[in-house]
Amino acid sequence: MSEPLNNKGCATTIVVLGSLHYDIMVEAPDRPLKGETVTGTRWYPKFGGKGGNQAIAARLHGAEVRLVSATGNDNFADYIHARLAQADISSDYIEQLDNEPTGMSLAIQDADGDYGAVIVSGSNLAIDPAVLENEVLWANATVLLLQNEVPEALNSVAALKARELGLTVCLNAAPARSMSPDFLNLVDVLIVNALEAEALGSEVVDSLETAAQAAACLSDRFPTVIVTAGGDGVAASSIATGVIKLSAKPIEVSSTHGAGDVFTGVLCAELAAGSALETALGIANELAAEHVASA
């Protein structure tokens, strides 16, 4: 596996704090309406959780990844730890809890490749913040990557520590939820989709142009903002670059499940390696499209 290098010629290191889920994927012609029963075609287990998915995407792109999370002590956990080992991600910072079940999700994917999901957080809500005091965790790291599937209080502790050590704090604010101004003030790079951008106060995002407007609007509060617009592409705004718009790569959709996590993990690996924002966006956009076409 090739290692992206930062501008000092060293392999990039990212700390990811986030969720781990045992995903159960169900494929069906349609997603059920309220009160409706739909006959599916198949189901299968899948490694998941935004933290885990983004960590693996960054690792597959060459970054060294240190993942902070927690699982239960059950069969779901065995599956997750085995998958992390296959991806060459250590479980040194992942506590196995006897009194909490491993997080899980149920995702239903329709014939168009779109999906809806329900998560049960379990052990992800019980990650011990004490692990963040381990100096080895942070050694040579340049980026901290966070998401919204663990408690905000834990994200805040991690972001404060990262700021003290001079890391760039990246937040994929997914799923959308209310967040305190104190926490948001610690974020250097905000990554959101249309719904998440709107939840943070942008106008409706329904095209690449409105995604660019949303990024510009939110850049009043964050140094760098990235707004993904699904099949329309991705837009970004920062003080250094102004507004950037990239159209989506034309592909035939197989499944959109996990595409945002691939985008985020690759993007952060590129930023940690010192890539310019537009370069990082282009690479992440292309690899996310490949994932949607091949998943």
Catalytic (active-site) positions = 261
How far are the Cα atoms of 20, 77, 142 from residue 81, in angstroms, in the given order? Answer: 10, 6, 25
Is the sign of the CA dihedral 63, 69, 75, 78 positive or negative?
positive
Residue type, 200: L
Cα–Cα distance, 238 to 241 (Å, whole number): 5
Supply 283's token pair.
Answer: 């690479």
Helix (H) or strand (E) holding 143: strand 143-147
Cα–Cα distance, 261 to 198 (Å, whole number): 19
Cα–Cα distance, 107 to 88 (Å, whole number): 26
Find where tokens 């404060």 sit: 160
Supply 276's token pair.
Answer: 């310019």
Of the candidates 240, 190, 233, 232, the residue with the CA atom closest to the CA atom of residue 215: 190
Number of H helices, E strands in the chain: 9, 13
Cα–Cα distance, 184 to 204 (Å, whole number): 21
Supply 271's token pair.
Answer: 């930023």
Those residues whose C-beta lies under 8 Å from the C-beta of residue 295, and which sit 6 or more positions away, are 113, 254, 255, 256, 257, 258, 259
Supply 5's token pair.
Answer: 């290098």
